[in-house]
Amino acid sequence: MTTGDAAFDFKYLDPYYPYILTSVNTTVTDGTASAGLMTRAVQSAEDKMTATFNIRFFDFVDGWKYAPRTPQAGDSVRIDYRLDGGEWQRAATFTTLPEADAATGLITLYATVNGTANKQVEFRYTRYTATENTANCLESVYISKEITCFPPVSLTVDTANVTDTQIALQWKDHFNTAATYSVAYQTADAATDAPWTPVTANGPTVTLTGLNPNTAYRMKVQAVCTDENVSAFNHTPAGFATYNGLPYDESMGNVYNSPTDYTTPGERGVKTYVGQLGGTWREENNYETWNTAYSASGRTSDIARAMGTYEEATNAILVTPQIYTREATRLTFKLNSFSLRKDADNNFELIANGSTPSEADCRLMVAVSNHGAFTQEDVVLTLTGAKLNLVNQTFQFDIAETGLMQIAFFFENPVEHWFTTTSAFNLEVYDVAFTTIPNDYTLTLNAQPAEGGTVSGAGVYAEGASVSITAKANEGYDFVAWMNDGVERSKSATYTLQMPSANTTYTAIFRARTPDEPTEHELTLTASPANGGRISGDGFYFTGEDVTIQAEANTGYKFVAWVNGTDTLSKEATYAFKMPDRDTAFTAKFVQNTAIETLAQTGFSVSATQGQIQIRNLNGLTVKSVTIYTLTGERLARFPSDSREDLSLPVTGRRALCFVCIDTEKGTVVYKVFLP
């Protein structure tokens, strides 16, 4: 062979253990040796050479199986060498063998020999044992120039000291007497040529800090015997992931980057099981448990936006990944129940949000645990039977325990109900969040000058809380602005702020009015519904000043009227008036176009007399029902019909604009009428 390092891989054609066996002992007495295994000759250019042997030990069981074995008393290894084909000489004897590497199961032995310069070097490996039915295999031999600083082994993670931002490592060093260590790490998804981050350790442990939550890392270690003498890295890098940290925010739905690129809750660490609280579990992802495929409510236009379950499941469990916490936390989540029907093409259609289980004993339990299991003592919420009739309801709990927390949702249904054409009860959970409990801070309000007016809204509020503050000018003064830390925050007398993470002070600035100066008042405009359209013209105006306000409907909506409370001001989108001597609020009312656009298609004539709504059915369509609403959306009356005749319906209310909603066989139409 040529001069330089040489490596030998020994392979034994065994489908279970592909290494060469040095012996399989059936009857062995103390001191019995295996057959010696020899390397090929290596031409050495160095005066000292080191042979590195990687070996394994086995028990021979059941007549044919090999089980990993820890060397015991009586097990020893002898390594010999010879130069240029001469006599064999002893290189090393190991009567006590080091521990196997925790990751690979390999025992590594080193043997260094002298006087090898310009000579052919061979090594021979011999195993001795006093134990029957044992085997020993030699996986590889690496022959190199002298090694005096040896790689550590058994690099493992101290799982008790892993958090959301740190990983603790430990390793063993069987051969170096005085060394420091260099640990290198990188994220598990880093490219093969990506740099590693180095960390120095003075002993066989180190804690990597400043890591990213919920991230997988790989780590390796080498010994530093002197500045010039550094070992190779350990045989196999260790891998581990940090835990989730705070805030933890899980939608429980598929998160889409594009229609074909998305992540599922399962890919983010959420697990689903079949089992019971305090009982045995098995991991599943089908109709028996929770799944994004079973979320098809009217809460969102898409399925797969929540984790859902239904009455075919009897013992379904949904569990978050572990979340590391250092302080008391706040758990929030949302629940929604709904019923579905299925058409001939297996498409789902929502019947209604808010449904009750078929079985009165059906229940949901929510538990929070920091001990790796769930018991009845961990349950923070139990909902049974009719209490599961929920419509997008938010639940919130403060959790005092800290450490590695997990949240579990246990759905228990005593009787399985198969989904045929309808599903009476479906349940979904979404928007699960685990956050620190916000601290409370003091909001102080001042008036400047003090005689200029009054202020309200001061108090103690949680960080991030939405707080409304109000300033009211005294006679002879006008409100100017809210000031905070020397910055003008708002010219509106009523202002909503987000409470900061510190005590804070807001000052209402008032200005004295000169004699005969007109009074300035605030005009507030709102849209109903908020997404129905855009409005303009709000602000501050002097008494008697000309004001013009405008409303513009968004796509899919139609402007109805400007209203002040229950009074209709104008049915025109542009409305002009003089500012009254007071603060004033107007609302722009909008309705969806879909109902108005079907007006000509249905053929009804709707009118109102005192106490009656008259409906003439011009085309003889079947009227299923008639519902009458106020302008603010309050339902005045509903009349089931199933008739093709003209209708005269009693209604309470006078001098008010209302909507008459007629549900027909051809669709739904809406008419505006004025009750005299």
Q: Whole-angstrom Cα distance, residue 131 to residue 146?
A: 34
Q: Would you call the peptide bond into 529 cis, given omega within 30 degrees of 0 as the criterion?
A: yes
Q: Check if the beta carbon of residue 269 is closer than 8 Å to that of residue 434.
A: no
Lowest average pLDDT, out of 245-249, 413-417, 562-566, 592-596, goes to 592-596
Residue 32 confidence (pLDDT) above 60: no
- pLDDT tens profile 69-96: 899 888 889 999 999 999 999 999 999 9
Max Cα-Cα span within the chain: 126
Which residue, 430, 423, 253, 300, is CA-closest to 355? 423
- pLDDT value at residue 183: 97
- pLDDT value at residue 370: 95
- pLDDT tens profile 369-388: 999 899 999 999 999 999 99
625 CB burial (10 A radius; 0-12, 13-18, 19+): middle
Which residue, 268, 235, 242, is CA-closest to 188? 242
Q: Check if the beta carbon of residue 543 is closer than 8 Å to that of residue 579.
A: yes
Angle at 481 between CA 480 and CA 482, to 5 degrees: 150
- pLDDT value at residue 64: 66
- pLDDT value at residue 315: 96
User: Cβ atoms within 10 A of the Cβ of 109, count?
Assistant: 19
Please report, as a single letter, which amino acid is at residue 574.
T
Mean pLDDT throughout 519-536? 89
Q: Check if the beta carbon of residue 165 is closer than 8 Å to that of residue 113.
A: no
Phi, psi for 104 (deg, rounded to 5): -105, -20
- pLDDT value at residue 445: 97
Residue 540 confidence (pLDDT) above 90: no
Please report, as a single letter, which amino acid is at residue 206.
V
Helix H, strand E, coil C: the string for 15-43 is CCCCCEEEEECCCCCCCEECCCEECCCEE
Strands (E), 259-326: 261-263, 271-275, 281-283, 307-310, 315-319, 323-325
Angle at 632 between CA 626 and CA 635, to 5 degrees: 30
Higher pLDDT, 4 or 132: 132
- Give the burial string for 130-150 (b: 16+ CB within 10 Å, else e): bbeebbbbbbbbbbbeebebb
- pLDDT value at residue 615: 87
Mean pLDDT throughout 409-415? 96
- pLDDT value at residue 34: 53
- pLDDT tens profile 318-356: 999 999 999 999 999 999 999 988 877 777 788 889 999
Lowest average pLDDT, out of 3-7, 166-170, 358-362, goes to 3-7
Highest mean pLDDT: which range of 140-149, 194-203, 655-664: 194-203
Mean pLDDT throughout 405-433? 93
Residue 288 confidence (pLDDT) above 60: yes
Residue 178 confidence (pLDDT) above 80: no
Higher pLDDT, 38 or 508: 508
The pair of structure tokens assigned to 169 is 């490592």
Helix (H) or strand (E) holding 639: strand 635-643
pLDDT confidence band for 268 (50 / 70 / 90):
very high
Residue 21 confidence (pLDDT) above 60: no
Place of tokens 């200029």: 452
Sequence-ordered alpha helix ranges (H) in 481-611: 593-597, 599-602
- pLDDT value at residue 31: 40
pLDDT confidence band for 15 (50 / 70 / 90):
very low
Q: Check if the beta carbon of residue 285 is closer than 8 Å to that of residue 307.
A: no
Q: Whole-angstrom Cα distance, residue 11 to residue 6?
A: 16
- pLDDT value at residue 405: 97
Highest mean pLDDT: which range of 195-204, 518-527, 599-608: 195-204
Please report, as a single letter, which amino acid is at residue 78.
R
Phi, psi for 523 (deg, rounded to 5): -110, 120
Residue 276 confidence (pLDDT) above 50: yes
Mean pLDDT throughout 346-368? 91
- pLDDT value at residue 29: 35
Q: Check if the beta carbon of residue 525 is closer than 8 Å to that of residue 535.
A: yes
Q: Check if the beta carbon of residue 139 is closer than 8 Å to that of residue 82.
A: no
pLDDT confidence band for 633 (50 / 70 / 90):
low
- pLDDT value at residue 381: 98
Higher pLDDT, 612 or 396: 396
- What percent helix, strand, coil does the chain show, rounded to 5? 5, 55, 40
Higher pLDDT, 425 or 294: 425
Angle at 44 between CA 39 and CA 45, to 5 degrees: 165
Mean pLDDT throughout 97-111? 92
Residue 632 confidence (pLDDT) above 50: yes
- pLDDT value at residue 295: 81
Q: Whole-angstrom Cα distance, residue 363 to residue 384?
A: 4
Mean pLDDT throughout 241-266? 92
- pLDDT value at residue 27: 33
Could you say which DSSP state residue 211 is in? P
Q: Whole-angstrom Cα distance, residue 453 to residue 10?
A: 93
- pLDDT value at residue 194: 96
- What number of CA atoms fall less than 13 Å from residue 380's CA on the CB side? 19
Q: Would you call the peptide bond into 247 cis, given omega within 30 degrees of 0 as the criterion?
A: yes
The pair of structure tokens assigned to 596 is 């108005």
pLDDT confidence band for 497 (50 / 70 / 90):
very high
| Prediction pTM value | 0.65
- pLDDT value at residue 402: 95
Higher pLDDT, 633 or 142: 142
Sequence-ordered alpha helix ranges (H) in 586-626: 593-597, 599-602
- pLDDT value at residue 624: 86
